Structure 1
Amino acid sequence: MFGMKDLIGLTISAFIILPVVIFIREAGYFLISGLFGVKNPRLTIGTGPRLFTFLIFDVRKYYHVYSWFSFDSIKSDRNFAYICIYAGPILINLFIALIINALLANGYWEEFKTFWNRFIFYAFYYVLFDIIPMKTFNGKPNNGMVIYELLRYGKRVDYNEEPLIPGTTEVEEEYQEQIKQIEKVKEQIEEDE
């Protein structure tokens, strides 16, 4: 039976563990891309209006399950660089999950075992859905598909015409345009009242 303890566990999973795992996943892009000299990297956390920016972080107002990494250009524009960048989220979640699992197996963090088991579950969940080549709901390939296509055909294959990792400058321009549209709608609503 689903009780109060389960509700608390679900809340912790949804609002603490899942966002942290997603942040770590997106940080995987950043860590690996730094090795290949990306220009203007940005890690956007959440959606909607911007709350603040700090260094490479762009924090938005609404729930941060939806996050993404962007950059404008890369110094090492070779297939190997892109394979490594797209493998970054897979590797970092796998690495962290295995480290936590090893710590639990050796008796560390016993009092928080349920929390860490959930953390490992979500980390492996993202590894699984990143590593198996497939298209996502919007028709774009996931990281596994991008890596597979790069290894098989030797080129970046995108099933949409837009790039897989957007440029930070392009994202900023789109954001500013959305904010202008929101302001216009607000003004129209105020005039109608």
Structure 2
Amino acid sequence: MFGISNLVSLVMSAFIILPIVIFLREMSYLIVSWLFGVNNPRLTIGSGPRLFKIGIIDIRKYYHVYSWFSYDDLKTDSKLAYILVYASPIFINLSIALLINFLLANGWGEEYKTFWDRFIFYAFYFVLFDIVPMCTVNGKPNNGMIIYELIRYGKRVDFNTESFIPTTSEMEKQHKEYMKKIEEIKKEREQEKNK
């Protein structure tokens, strides 16, 4: 039976553990891309209007699950560099999950076992959906498909002409257009109210 303790656990999982796993996942792109001379990197957490931006961290108003890493260019323009960038979330989540699992198996963190078990679950969840090559609902390839296409064909071969990871400059342009539309809708609603 689903009780209050399960509800608290669910909230803790959704609003504490999941954001941490997602943040680590997105940071892995940043760390590996820095090794290859990334230009104009940005780590966007959430979606919708920008709440604030601190350096390369862009915090948005709505829920954190839709988060992404963007950049304009890599100085090292090679297949291996791109494969390593797209494989980085797989490696980081897998490494952290296996390390925590090893530590739990050896008696570490027993008092927070439920927390760490859920952390491991979410880490493996993202590994599964990153490693199995597939296209997402919007037709964009996941990391596994990008890596597969880079290894097999040396390039992206699906019908989608957008870059694997959107450029930071393009994302900033889209955000400004989005905010402009929101302001127009607000003005229209205000005018309707005042009639």
SS at 1:159 equivalent: coil
Deviation of the 1:168 alpha carbon: 0.3
Give the match for residue 51 of structure 1: 51
After TM superposition, the structure 1 = structure 2 runs for residues 78-93 of structure 1, keeping only pairs within 5 Å, are 78-93=78-93
State the TM-score, normalized to the length of structure 1. Answer: 0.97
1:156 deviates by 2.9
Q: Is the 8 A contact 1:141 1:159 kept in 2?
A: no
TM-score (norm: length of structure 2)? 0.96
* Alignment pair present for 1:63 and 2:56: no
Name the CA distance, whole Å, in 2 between partners of 1:76 and 1:159. Answer: 26
> Which residue in 2 is equivalent to 1:37?
37
Q: Which residue of 2 aligns with 1:138?
A: 138
Within 5 Å, which residues of 2 pair with 1:113-124? 113-124=113-124
Aligned position for 2:73: 73
Q: What is the one-letter code of the residue matched to 2:174? A: E
Equivalent position of 1:8 in the other structure: 8
The Cα offsets for residues 81-112 of structure 1, whole Å up to 9 and x where unpaired, read as 10000001100111111111111111111000
How far apart, in 1, do the equivalents of 2:79 and 2:131 lie? 17
Offset of 1:37 from its aligned partner?
A: 0.5
Q: Is the 8 A contact 1:97 1:120 kept in 2?
A: yes
Aligned residue runs from structure 1 range 160-171, under 5 A = 160-171=160-171
Identity of aligned residues (%): 65
TM-align CA RMSD: 0.9
- Asked whether the equivalents of residues 158 and 164 of structure 1 are also in contact (C-alpha less than 8 Å), the reply is no
**Gaps (5+ residues) in structure 1?**
none
- 3-state SS of 2:63 partner: strand
Instruction: Give, in whole Å, the separation in 2 of the partners of 1:192 and 1:2.
Output: 45
AA in 1 matched with 2:55 = L
Cα distance between partner residues in 2 of 1:79 and 1:23: 25
Deviations 1:116-153 (A, max 9, x none): 00100010010011001111111111101111111111
Distance in 2 (alpha carbons) for counterparts of 1:156 and 1:33: 19
